[in-house]
Amino acid sequence: MLHFKGILMVEIKKIVILFFYCSIVSVIESQFLQQLENDIINIIANIQHNVVKLELFYPHTNTRISSGIILDNQGHIVTLATAVEKTNKIKVHLQSDKTTEADIIGTDTWTNVAVLKMKEHIEPIPKGDSDKLQIGSILIVIGNPYGLNKSVSLGIVSGLHRCVWLRGSLTPLIGLIQTTAPINPGDDGGLVVNSQGEFIGMSFSTIQRELFVGTQKKLFFKMYKLLKSYQEQTDFDPQLALQFDTLIQEMQPGINSSNIVSQGINFILPSNRIYWVSESIIRYGTVNRGWLGITVVNMEQPGVLVSKVNLNSPAYNILQEGDQIITLNDTLIMNSAHIYEIISYCYADVPITITYQRNNQLHKVTLRLALHPSRN
């Protein structure tokens, strides 16, 4: 009997300890969530003034609402180039309910970034490092969806180094951040910050992925094959891009068909790329992007294989077909999109160092990038 009571007391003690442990964990979790909520509220309060509502006026059409971000204390605003193209007037609505006008300083179709200039000067929020984002990083997005001022959404990073084609463009948007945060019409050009309230990107419109059945399936797979061929290049063939755009137009009759299922995919333009492009536009009025002059394909391991060297390019008479490029400026090249991303964010006439393998021997060479042919 005494033995039974002893065992019972031990079990009761275990239950009591477990109860107190669960209570403590519950309190800690509650405190953590409360602190997280307070942090998010404080971040939003501190950054809202950096988001502006853009009222865009177009000739012979209705106005459109978009978003913009205060870039610096000199009156510069960044937004999407596709939003402001063909506008004849831009009104900027500030947090103080004050309205002013802005002019377009310049745009860059490679990154879809536009730089505006207004007379008002507002202090920007701290800069973040978008290259430090990882899958799962928390993001806060502030924009003006459907004209609803300063709307906030939360999400995480769900993908990095994404490549997306805009219709009618001969070059893709590269190095995009994919996110789970909802981004709606009017959020385009909105502010994206990290969990420290630092500027790490600009929200980008939802991409609709169409899945076709029946007669549209053949066109879909034709488009898919062309897209795959794009991904294996660093210097994209304009003629190939025109073929891709033509395919999209061929698919338009089926867009309203019930044979299509659409899924939204949301993206963010990284802040590091935005700063690089904006600085060039503000200083020079354009982006003097560098050009190496090679076409590459992916390999099974990190690195890329040179499949073509353009005549009279910086790589001509230095690199050869069959060379395996391992690093660029001491950065390990993961695939063709990666090397394209690195080169596209280098200025012309800037020296770069390439490590490559030829005939099982490693070589290192330094050369200067030329001005990209699209800018000549």
Beta-bridge partner residues of 202: 191, 269
Q: What is the pTM of this model?
A: 0.72
Q: What integer pLDDT is reported at residue 186 of this predicted model? A: 77
H runs (alpha helix) in 296-359: 336-344
Summarize pLDDT for 41-73 with one digit per residue, the tens.
888 888 888 999 999 998 877 788 899 999 999
Do the two domains 49-118 and 130-209 of this chain adopt the same fold?
A: yes
The third-level CATH classification (topology) of the domain covering 130-209 is Thrombin, subunit H (2.40.10)
Residues 6 or more apart whose Cβ sits within 8 Å of residue 361: none
Highest mean pLDDT among 243-247, 257-261, 333-337: 333-337
We find that the CATH architecture of domain 49-118 is Beta Barrel (2.40)
SS (H, E, C) 335-365: CHHHHHHHHHCCECCCEEEEEEEECCEEEEE
Summarize pLDDT for 81-131 with one digit per residue, the tens.
988 988 999 999 998 788 999 999 999 988 899 999 999 898 898 899 999
Residue 214 has pLDDT above 50, yes or no: no
Summarize pLDDT for 264-293 with one digit per residue, the tens.
678 999 999 999 999 999 988 888 888 999
Summarize pLDDT for 295-307 with one digit per residue, the tens.
999 888 889 999 9
Mean pLDDT of 11-24: 60
Superfamily of 288-375 according to CATH? PDZ domain (2.30.42.10)
Residue 248 has pLDDT above 70, yes or no: no
Higher local confidence (pLDDT), 319 or 217: 319
Residue 45, both tokens:
């309060």
Strand 294-298 and strand 304-309: the pairing is antiparallel
Where exactly are the structural domains of the chain? Answer: 49-118, 130-209, 213-259, 288-375
Q: What integer pLDDT is reported at residue 210 of this predicted model? A: 39
Summarize pLDDT for 315-350 with one digit per residue, the tens.
999 999 999 999 999 999 988 888 888 888 888 888
Q: Answer yes or no: are the C-beta atoms of 360 and 323 closer than 8 Å.
A: no
